[in-house]
Structure 1
Amino acid sequence: MAESGGGGPDVTQELRVPWDEDPGDLYEHAPCGYLTMLPDGTIVKVNETFLAWTGFERRALIGRRRFRDLLSPGDKIYYETHYAPLLSMQDDVHEMAFDLVRADGRRLPILVNSILGRDPAGRPRVVRTTIFDATERRGYERELLAARRLAEASEQRVGALQQVVADLAAAATAAEVGEAVVRAPGSAFGAAYARVWLLDADRERLRALAGTEPGATDDDMPLGSSRPVAEVARRGDLHVIASVAEAERHFPELAAAMHRAGHHSVVLLPLTAGFPGEVIGADVLGVLTFAFTEERELTDSELRVVRLLGHQAGQALDRARLYDEARRREERAAFLAETTRALDEEPRLMLRARSLIDRLVPDVAEWAAVRLQVGPAGLQAEAGGPAPDPVRLAQRVALVGAHGKAELTGSGADPDCAVLPLAAGGKVLGTLALRMAPGRRPASADAVFLTDLADRAGLALENARLYEQERAVARTLQRSLLASDLPTDPRFAVETHYQAATHDLEVGGDWFDAFLITQDKLAVVVGDVVGRGIDAATTMGQLRSAIRALATAEAGPARLLERLDRFVDRVESARMATVVYAEVDLTTSEMTYACAGHLPPLLAEPGAAPQYLLDGRSGALGTRAGLRTRTEHRVHLAAGSRLLLYTDGLIERRHRRIDAGFEMLARAYAGRRDSPLPGLAAGLAERLVGREHPDDVCLLCLALGTEERLERAIGADPVQIALLRKDMRGWLASHDVDEDSTQAVLLACSEAVANAIEHGYRNDPFGVVDVTAVVSADAIEVRVTDRGDWHVSGDEVARGRGLQLIHQMMDDVTFDRTEGTTVTMRRSRREAV
C-alpha cells in the first residue's frame, strides 16, 4: 500500500482484500432478491436469493411470469393502482410493501424498491428491482399494533372506571349507585348486559336494584338461594363463567338462562365495602353481574379493574346505605312527631284510629288495620289492600292481644304482615296490623320504628278512649238536667235542639224549658249560664227549677226576672246569666216576653218576613249597675206563627260582627218558613254551625195556633218524609180529624211525596216538593206538586203499588202534568163514633 508524503495511508488508492470477489456470485447470493423486468413486468433476470425465498425455479419465471403475477389478489390491485403509476411518473419507488405468494402457496411479506431505466429517447427500457424479506418487520409491527390496542383498551377501561368513580361520588342513594355501576361493564369491557343486586339490611334477601334491560329490577331471591348470585353474595369472591359448557356443569339454571339470552360468558362480582384487595370475607353489600355474547377470558389486568370496580361500588353502596339510614331515621322521627301531633288534634277514638290508618297507608304500608277491644263487639278501622288472609290474621291478632308481644313477621300466606299491640299503662287496648310492600319483610330498623309507632298510637288511643268515656258521662249529666217533659197540646207545638261543643269535654250552661203555668198559659224559656263544667250545669238546673217555681199566672215575665235577681243574690254562680222568657195566653194568642241580657227572639208570622223582637230588654241576672226594675213587652201572635229562642253559640263568631250573624239567622229562618216543624231547629243548627263548633248551641222553636191551610216545601230527600208526617199529624189533630182519616191521609201523602222524589227528582237532589193540605167540614184535600222530569209514564206509575195504595186510602185521586206533576187527593171526613 502506498503512503502519502505525510507518512499516513493513501486513502485515494483502491483497497484490496486478500481474496478475489466474483461479481456474479455477489449478485446471485446477495442478502436481498434482485429482479430485472421489462416495462410490462415480465421477469427477464432473477438472482438465486429470490429463488431460494420463493421456491420457484429460474426457468418457471424467466420470460414466463410477470412480477404482478406473484402477488396476492389484493396486492395485485395495489400494484396496478399505486406501484405502476408511481414508477412511471417518478422512475423509482421505495419500500413499497407487498405480500408475495411463494411456489407452495404461502405468503411472504416483502418490501420493494424499483428503478425504471430509459433509453436515450426517454422510452422505458428496463425495471431493476430489489426485494427485502419483511417477515420479521411485519411480526414486529403486529406486536406493536397489539400492544397499542391493548394500551387503548386499558386506557378505555381506566377511563370508564374513572367515570364510574365520578358518578359514584355524586350518587347519594343506593338506586343512584346502581344506575352508575350498571353502565360500567359495557363501556369498560364491552359487556352486552349488566345487572346490580342489593343485599337488604338484614342480609336475608337480594333484590335487583338496576339493570340495562327492561324489567331488570323485577326480581329478588333469598340469600340462601342456590342461584350463583346468592352464592357469590354469601362467599364474597369473584366468579367468572367463561362458557355455557362451564355453566352447565356447575349451574344448570344459569346455563338455561344464558341460552335464552344468547350469552356465552358471565361475570359475577361481589360489591364489597372492605379494604382494596380484601375480597373474601369482606362486607358484601351487593353483586354486579354482566355477560358477553361471545366466550370471554378476562386478562389479569381486566380482573384487577373488575375487582377495583367492585370495591368502588361497594364503598359507594356503603356510603349510600349510611346516608339512607340517616335520612330514614330523620324521616321516621318526623313521621312519628307529625303522627303524634295529628292524633292529639283529633279527640274522638275512632277518628284517631282512622287518622292513624290514613297516615300509614300508603306511606308506610300497603294495608293497615286497627282493632280496638272497646265495647262488646270492639271497634275496627282499616284501609289499603289487598288484606291478608282473615283467618290467619285473626289468629295472630288474638295471640298478640292476649300476650301483648309484637309479631313482626308471619308464616304461610302472609309473611310480610306485622301485628303489634296497642298498649298503655300495661293494658292492651287493641292491635295494629300492617302489611308491608310486596316481598319486603320488616327489617330490624323497621321493627324499632313500628314498635315506637305502636307505643305512641296506643297511648294516644287510650287517651281518646278516656276522653270519650268522660265526655259521655258529662253529656249524660247535662242532658239529664235539660227539660225532657215538654208539654203537648193541639194549640201549639214545641221543637228543641241542643248541640254540645265538639272540642270541649266540660258541660256547658245553655238550657231550654217549656211548661204550662195554667191550662191556658204556656211559658217558654232559653238561658245561658256563665262558665262551663259541673258548676255551670248545677247552676243551670237551679235556675230552671227557680223559674218553674216563681212562674205564676199573675206575675208575668218582668216580675219573674225581678224575683230571679233576688235568687241570684243567694246563688253567686248564677250571676250574669242571661235569660229570654215568654208567656203565651193560649186563649187570646197574646205573648208577653222579657230579655235579661239575652239575644232577642226571632218571630216568623205567616206571609211576613221574620223579625227580631227587640223590646222588653234589660241587663243580665244579678246585674248591680242601674235599676233593678225589669221591663216586658206584649205582642199578638197570628195563627201559624213560629217563635225562635236561641243561645249565642248559634250566631256569634270571633271572625265577624254579630250583625252578620243576626242577618244569616233571619235569612236561614225565612228559607225554612214552609218546612215541617220537626227537624227545623236541628236544620238551622246544621246550616249555621255545622258539626265542628267551639260553643254549645241551644234552640227552642214554638209554633202557635192552628193553621187554616197547611203549606210545606221539603227537599227531595226521603228523610224529610218522616218530618212531614209528624208535622201533618199535629196539624190534622188540631182540626179534629178522626184517627182513621188521619192515618189514611198521612199514608197517602207519604206515598205521593216518595213517588215525586223517586221519579221526578231521580237526578236532581236539590228538587223541592210542595205539599198543601186543607180541611173543610166534609173532607180533607192534599195536593203534592213537583217540577221534575218523570222517567216513567203515568200508566206505569198508576200500575205501581204506591198509586194503588193511594187509591185505597183516598176517595178521589187526580193527576195534572201541565207543569211537572201534581197529585190531588181527597178523602171525606168520617162521622165520629
Structure 2
Amino acid sequence: MPEVTQDLRVPWEEDPGDLYEHAPCGYLTTLPDGTIVRVNETFLAWTGYERSELVGRKRFRDLLSPGDKIYHETHYAPLLSMQGDVHEVAFDVVCADRRRLPTLVNSVLGRDPAGHPRAIRTMVFDATERRGYEKELLKARRTAEASELRVRALQQVVAELSAAPSAAEVAGAVVRAPAAAFDAAFCNVWLVDPDRDQLTAVASTDPDGPARDDIPCSSSRPIAEVARRGDLHVVPTIAAAEERFPELADTMRRTGIRSAVLLPLTTGFAGETIGAEVLGVLSFGFTEERELDEPELSVVRLLGHQAGQALDRARLYDDAGRREARAMFLAETTRALEEPYRLMPRARNLVERLVPAIAEWAAVRLQIGPAGLLADAGGPAPDQVRLAERVAIVVANGKAEFTDVGADPDCAVLPLTAGGKVLGTLALRMAPGRRTAAAEAAFLSDLADRAGLALENARLYEQERAIARTLQRSLLAGDLPSDPRFAVETHYQAAAQDLEVGGDWFDAFLITQDKLAVVVGDVVGRGIDAATTMGQLRSAIRALASAEAGPARLLERLDRFVDRVESARMATVAYAEVDLTTNEMTYACAGHLPPLLTEPGGSPRYLLDARSGAIGSRAGSTARIEHRVPLSPGSRLLLYTDGLIERRTRPIDKGFEVLARTYAGRRDSPLPGLTKGLAQTLVGGDHPDDVCLLCLSLGTEERLERSIGADPVQIALLRKDLRGWLVSHDVDDDSTQAVLLACSEAVANAIEHGYRNDPFGIVDVTATISAAAIEVEVTDRGNWKGPTGEVSRGRGLRLIRQVMDQVNFDRRDGTTVTMRRTRREAR
C-alpha cells in the first residue's frame, strides 16, 4: 500500500523568542546557585516583577514563602542535584505585591561536557485554580467528616445514656458530647434540684468552670432563664449576648469564649416544649464566632431530648440508690465505730466518715468533763455563737434541730443519746449539691442514735480501762537503778483488747552498792486478784533479798511466803543477782522460762541450769538450786515471760528458736528500744497475752559495735547507747557532745544518700577509745552516686569537720567515714 505524506506545516511563521516569552507557563533559567539569569514575560506578568528586579539580582528561592524556602533547601535542591530533574513540586511564589501565587515547578539541571552543573531550567505552572478546587474538595470532605463525627458522637452518648443509672452519670455522659460532636472548647451541665429550687453545676470539661455553682431557679442568670422557658439559645457573638444576656457577655469576655449554646434538657419529644419538664441545662462554647447550621441544630435538639429522657429515668434509679446507699452507710458506720475502743477515736471516726461523704462539715461535742470534748472535720465551721445556742437547746430538750434558711443553711444539730441520757451532740452541714438536712431527717436521726450507743460503749470501756491501767502502773516497778556499770531496758505490753490487768511483772534493784538483782515473774490468772498478788510477790522479793541469801534461799523463802498468800502459789520467777565487782551472776528459775544470754562475739544461749518448780508447788523436791555464770563486759541478759514466745499454733521449742534467732539479729543494736523492738517483731500489737521483758547490759565495752537499719528513727536510740558508753569511759562533756553530733550526722548521711532507695540497708558503727582520742567509724554499703553520676557528699559533712579533728572517707567498698576526736585531757 503506497505511503501517504501529509504536510503539517503551519500557515504562518512561529517566532521562537515570542513562543518563549509568552508561553502558557513561566520559564526561568538559573545558575547552579539559584541566581536568575533569564525569565520569560509570562512569569513576570504573573508575579508583577520587572525583569531588572530579578535577573542577576534574585535567586529562585528568594521568591518563595518562608516555609517553601526551607523545603527548597532540604528537599528540592538535594533531589535536583542527585537526580538531575524534579517534577511537580508545589511552591508558593511571593509576588511583587506580597500576595502568594500557588505554583507547580518542574526543573532540569543541565551539565557541561565534563559533567559539572551548568544551569537549571525551570518551568512554573499557575496552580491557583487547582488549589481552589482542592480546597473545595477538602471543605466538602471535612463537612462530610464533621457530619459523620456528630452522628457517631450522638450515637455514643445515646449508648452511654441508656446505660447510665444515675443523674450524675447522665451528666458525665452529656458533658463530653459537645467536644466530640462540635469541637466545643468547654461544656457545663446544670441539673435542677427540686428540693432546693435551684440549678446545680454537676459536670464540666472546663478546669476553671463552675465546679460548685448553685443558681436559684428564680434568678435572672441565663442558665435559670433557659430552664424556665425551655428554649434553645444560640449566641453566635459577644455582641448578640450583649443584647439579651449581658451577664453571659461578661463571662464570655473573661473566659475567651466567642460564641455559646444554651440547651435545655427536657423530658418532651425533640423540639416539643409544651408540657415538657426541664430537668437541666447544657451549655457549651467556642473560642471563635460560630453559627450552627440546621443539621447541627437538629443534633443539638436531639441531644437535649435524649439527655432529658435519661435524666427522668435516672431520677427513679437515684431514689432507689439513695435509700440503698443510706442503709449501707449506716451499716458500715456502725461497724466502723466498733473498731476503735476509745471514745475520742470513735468520735473522730464518726466525723471522718461523714465528711465529705454526707456532710461538708461535722462536729461531735461530748458532755464529758467541765470543758467537754470536741471532734470536728471539714470546714469552714458555722457561726460558733449561733451553733453554741443551738447545741444548748438540743442538749436541754433532747430533740434535733434542722435549719434550711438563714446564716447556716442545711445545718443540723442532733442529740447523741444512750439509755435516755444525752451524751452530747452531732452537728453537721450538708454538702452542697446534696439533699437538705430536713429531707434527710430520718436518716440523720437513725445515724445519731447508732452513734450515741457506740460512743456510750466507748466511754464505759475507757473508764474501766483507765482504772485497770492505773492499777497496773502502780503495781509495776518504779524507777530502775542507774549506774555506769550496767544498764537496764524494760518493756511491758498489756494484752490487746483486754480490760483486765495481768500478772506479768519485772523488777530491778540494788541489794547492796555492789550487788544488783533483776527479776521477771508471772502470777497465775488475770484481773484484780492476780495484780494484787503480783504486787505482794514483788514486795516480798525486795524484802527477802539480801547480800548473804542468794537466789536459791530467796526462792525457798518465797515457798514459805505463799503458804500465807495462797493466790501466789504456782507463780513463776526468774531471779538473778550480779556481783558488780567481779561481774559474776548467780541465778535461779522457779518454773520460769530460761534467761537468754549474749556475750560479745558469741551467739545467744539459754541458761538451762538452776531450774526447779513454780513457787509453792509441792511436787518433787522442795530444795532450790542456783547456778553461777561469769559475765564478760558487754554481756546482755534477757528475762521474759511466756507471752513473748508461746503460740497455740506452734510448739514451744519453735518459739525458743525464733526468739534466739531474732535476738541474735539484734545483738549489735542499741540497748535503748531493744526490748520494745523484740516485742513488736515477735508479738505485734494484737496479742491475747501480756508480754514482759527485761534486758540487762553489764559492764563497759572496750569497743562499741552496733548495727542499725536504714531508718532515721534508729539514730536516736544509737545516740542514747553511744552516750552511755562514752560516759562510762569518763569522756569529757565537750568530746561526748562532739562525737554524738558527728556520729549522728554520718549515720544520717549514710541512710539518706547511701540507702536512699534501699529501706533494708544496714549501717555499722564502731567506736574505740584510748587515752588520747575517740575514734568512730560509720560504714554503709550503699551507692552515694546521685542521678547525674556525681558522688553525694551529704549536708552534714561540713558540720562533722567542724566538731571532729580528723575526718577520712574510704569509698572502695561502700562508704566508710572515719572520725577522730582528741580527748580534752590529752590536748
Kindly indicate whether residue 260 of structure 2 is the aligned counterpart of residue 269 of structure 1: no
Match of residue 626, structure 1, among 609, 616, 620: 620
Contact 1:269 1:289 in 2 (8 A): no
Match of residue 816, structure 2, among 805, 813, 821: 821
Contact 1:268 1:288 in 2 (8 A): no
Kindly indicate whether residue 797 of structure 2 is the aligned counterpart of residue 803 of structure 1: no
Structure 1 position 650, deviation (Å): 1.7
SS in 2 for 1:673: coil
Residues 636-659 of structure 1, C-alpha deviation per residue, up to 9 Å, x if partnerless? 222211111111222223333333
Contact 1:269 1:288 in 2 (8 A): no
Look up the equivalent residue of 1:402 and give its one-letter code.
A
Structure 1 position 701, deviation (Å): 0.1
Residues 586-635 of structure 1, C-alpha deviation per residue, up to 9 Å, x if partnerless? 23322222222222211111112112222322332232333333333332
Structure 1 position 202, deviation (Å): 4.8
Q: Quote the RMSD (CA, aligned, Å).
A: 5.0
Distance 1:231 1:270 in 2: 15
Residues 781/370 of structure 1: CA separation in 2 closer, same or farther (3 Å cut): same
Look up the equivalent residue of 1:534 and give its one-letter code.
I
Counterparts of residues 27-38 of structure 1 (less than 5 Å): none
What number of residue pairs does the alignment pair up? 598
Counterpart of 1:579 in structure 2 is: 573
Counterpart of 2:20 in structure 1 is: none
Kindly indicate whether residue 519 of structure 2 is the aligned counterpart of residue 513 of structure 1: no
Match of residue 633, structure 2, among 615, 635, 639: 639
Structure 1 position 357, deviation (Å): 3.9
Structure 1 position 580, deviation (Å): 1.1
Residues 146-201 of structure 1, C-alpha deviation per residue, up to 9 Å, x if partnerless? xxxxxxxxxxxxxxxxxxxxxxxx9997869999xx9xxxxxxxxxxxxx999867
Distance 2:320 2:230 in 1: 36
Match of residue 477, structure 1, among 471, 477, 480: 471
Residues 755/265 of structure 1: CA separation in 2 closer, same or farther (3 Å cut): closer
Percentage of matched positions with identical amino acids: 70
Structure 1 position 400, deviation (Å): 3.9
Query: Which is worse superposed, 408-417 or 660-669?
Result: 408-417
Counterparts of residues 218-233 of structure 1 (less than 5 Å): none
Residues 366-407 of structure 1, C-alpha deviation per residue, up to 9 Å, x if partnerless? 665556576798766566xxx4434x3544543443333645
Kindly indicate whether residue 341 of structure 2 is the aligned counterpart of residue 343 of structure 1: no
Distance 1:620 1:443 in 2: 66
Distance 2:447 2:688 in 1: 31
Counterparts of residues 389-468 of structure 1 (less than 5 Å): 389-390=380-381, 392=382, 394-395=384-385, 397-404=387-394, 406-409=400-403, 415-424=409-418, 426-429=421-424, 431-436=426-431, 438-442=432-436, 444-468=438-462
Distance 2:354 2:579 in 1: 62
Structure 1 position 413, deviation (Å): 8.0
Contact 2:588 2:627 in 1 (8 A): yes
Contact 1:396 1:419 in 2 (8 A): no
Residues 261/801 of structure 1: CA separation in 2 closer, same or farther (3 Å cut): closer
Match of residue 496, structure 1, among 490, 505, 516: 490
Contact 2:779 2:817 in 1 (8 A): yes
Query: Which is worse superposed, 790-799 or 485-494?
Result: 790-799
Residues 730-765 of structure 1, C-alpha deviation per residue, up to 9 Å, x if partnerless? 223333434444344334433433444444444444
In the superposition, the TM-score normalised over structure 1's length comes to: 0.61
Kindly indicate whether residue 714 of structure 2 is the aligned counterpart of residue 716 of structure 1: no
Look up the equivalent residue of 2:273 and give its one-letter code.
V
Counterpart of 1:706 in structure 2 is: 700
Counterparts of residues 143-542 of structure 1 (less than 5 Å): 202=195, 204=197, 266-269=272-275, 328-329=322-323, 331-361=325-355, 363-365=357-359, 368=362, 370=364, 387-390=378-381, 392=382, 394-395=384-385, 397-404=387-394, 406-409=400-403, 415-424=409-418, 426-429=421-424, 431-436=426-431, 438-442=432-436, 444-542=438-536
Distance 1:748 1:614 in 2: 43
Structure 1 position 411, deviation (Å): 5.0
Distance 1:630 1:503 in 2: 38
Look up the equivalent residue of 2:392 and give its one-letter code.
A
Contact 1:672 1:680 in 2 (8 A): yes
Distance 2:588 2:575 in 1: 6
Counterparts of residues 582-731 of structure 1 (less than 5 Å): 582-731=576-725
Contact 2:481 2:509 in 1 (8 A): yes
Distance 2:274 2:212 in 1: 19
In the superposition, the TM-score normalised over structure 2's length comes to: 0.61
Contact 1:745 1:827 in 2 (8 A): no
- For structure 2, the residue ranges without an aligned partner over 5 or more in a row are 1-161, 175-188, 204-208, 235-243, 250-259, 265-269, 283-292, 295-304
Contact 1:369 1:380 in 2 (8 A): yes
Distance 1:798 1:209 in 2: 52
Distance 1:227 1:737 in 2: 81
Distance 2:466 2:697 in 1: 32
Distance 1:201 1:771 in 2: 71
SS in 1 for 2:517: strand
Counterpart of 2:22 in structure 1 is: none
- For the pair shown, which has the larger CA radius of gyration, 1 or 2? 1
Contact 2:233 2:263 in 1 (8 A): no
Residues 814/269 of structure 1: CA separation in 2 closer, same or farther (3 Å cut): same
Distance 2:793 2:193 in 1: 72
Look up the equivalent residue of 2:637 and give its one-letter code.
L
SS in 2 for 1:537: helix
- For structure 1, the residue ranges without an aligned partner over 5 or more in a row are 1-169, 183-195, 245-251, 272-285, 295-308
Residues 332-370 of structure 1, C-alpha deviation per residue, up to 9 Å, x if partnerless? 344323422331232023332343345435543466555
